[in-house]
Amino acid sequence: MAEEKSPRPAVEETMIIGSGPAGWTAGLYTARAKLNPLLITGNDYGGQVSITYEVENYPGFPEALSGPELVEKMKEQAEKFGLTVEYDHVTEIVTDQHPFLVRTASGKEYKSKSLILCTGARPRYLEVPGEKKLMGKGVSYCATCDGFFFRGKDLVVVGGGDSALEEGLFLTKFATKVRIIHRRDELRASKILQDRAMAHEKIEFIWNTVVTSINEGEDGSVVGVTTKNTVTGEVSELKTDGVFVYIGHLPNNDLYHGKLHLDEDGHLITDKRMRTNVAGILAAGEIQDKVFKQVATSVGQGCSAAMQAEKFLADLEAEGYHDMGVDPREFPTYAPFVAATPAKATEQELVPA
């Protein structure tokens, strides 16, 4: 029998958008603070860690565990303290009135006094001919999801960061050969992964090279890539059965344009307390972090955002904003951060909805 959920209040104390490590941590802390939080998962349940084969650098798990396992543990812990989870996708937030409005794909509308935005990031595409058409037919961004289908096949991985090497190593479980194509002659990945990949008999590096197209065979799946050497300009054809792309990420910021300050790469700008430029709206994880992007850092940011939400709600109470409907930019708590916002943040001015 489906579990009965208790009815939600007319106005939420806090809502968390996103179900990656930052979101679950914000859920755990706000639940323990008795804020009766509601978390909306988004379409990509669990975020990027849920498509990670193995997490071996999250403290407390010396044996390593899979991304989906870690997500389930985080969810279980937050729910234990009272987090409510909705499997829905937020389509709009209204930020120039208080309480804020949150609208979802299932047609629901919520009001909330504070928001914790943890919408994370998604894989960056190569943007070359053939890529879009061959997605799911040999082009993939998730070794954990698709690696199994390439047993005994020859694969190409594009990128030179931690993801390319980590997932390239994972793909050696299935593939006969994994060629990692990198646009420079130096890797961005951590030394430990570099050493492992370099030492692996199935992995070969192709340096100073970019993929210029992904090529389709008669059966409609990938048969190879065209590459270009960035030093000599030489163009080559490479046969392969699959292409895994790991060239970084783009922040999931569709909800925030014209509403919250974004930096030049599209990340939400926050201060050290995880405050955005609208009082009561906090952000945590890869939507606002373009530097560290670790499970451990996202967890820390989710914790900070939750504690700040708690403080904001207490301030709100203390300052007497009981009757809602005011513009949150008029809250006194907004003023200190506006002063601290870097000048470049003002390039994308707030446009009232």
Residue, CB closest to ligand NAP: 161
Given candidates 73, 103, 183, 311, which one binds ligand NAP under the rule CB under 6 A? 183
Contact 16, 27 (CB under 8 A): yes
Report the residue number, 159 or 224, with the smaller CB distance to ligand NAP.
Answer: 159
How far apart are CB 192 and ligand NAP at their closest, in Å? Answer: 8
Q: Is 303 a catalytic residue?
A: no
Q: Is 166 in the site for ligand NAP (CB under 6 A)?
A: yes
Q: Exactly one of 68, 82, 217, 248 binds ligand NAP (CB under 6 A); which one?
A: 248
Q: How far is the CB of 51 from ligand NAP (least distance, A)?
A: 11
Query: Among the residues of 38-161, which ranges form H helices?
Result: 67-80, 143-146
Classified as helix, coil or strand, 122 is: strand
The residues near 231 (Cβ < 8 Å, ≥ 6 apart) are 208
User: By CB under 6 A, is residue 210 in contact with ligand NAP?
Assistant: yes
Residues of span 270-309 touching ligand NAP by CB under 6 A: 293
Question: Which DSSP state fits 331?
Answer: S
- The string of DSSP codes covering 14-73 is EEEE--SHHHHHHHHHHHHTT---EEE--SSTTGGGGG-S-B--STT-TT-B-HHHHHHH
Query: Is residue 67 close enough to count as binding ligand NAP by CB under 6 A?
Result: no
Token pair, residue 47, equals 């975020």
Residue 145 falls in the annotated catalytic set = yes
48 vs 348, which CB is nearer to ligand NAP? 48
What are φ and ψ of residue 188, in 5° steps? Answer: -90, -20
Q: To the nearest whole angstrom, how small is the minimum distance from the Cβ of residue 259 to ligand NAP?
A: 26
Q: If binding is defined by CB under 6 A, does position 163 make contact with ligand NAP?
A: yes
Smaller CB separation from ligand NAP, 160 or 285: 160
Position 205 contacts ligand NAP (CB under 6 A): no
Q: Pick the catalytic residue from 118, 146, 162, 241.
A: 146
Tell me the C-alpha distance between 27 and 43, whole Å.
Answer: 18
Give buried/exposed letters for 176-186 (b at 16+ CB in 10 A, else e).
Answer: ebbbbbbeeee
Q: Which residues are catalytic?
A: 142, 145-146
Residues near ligand NAP, by CB under 6 A: 57, 158-164, 166, 183-184, 188, 210, 246-249, 293
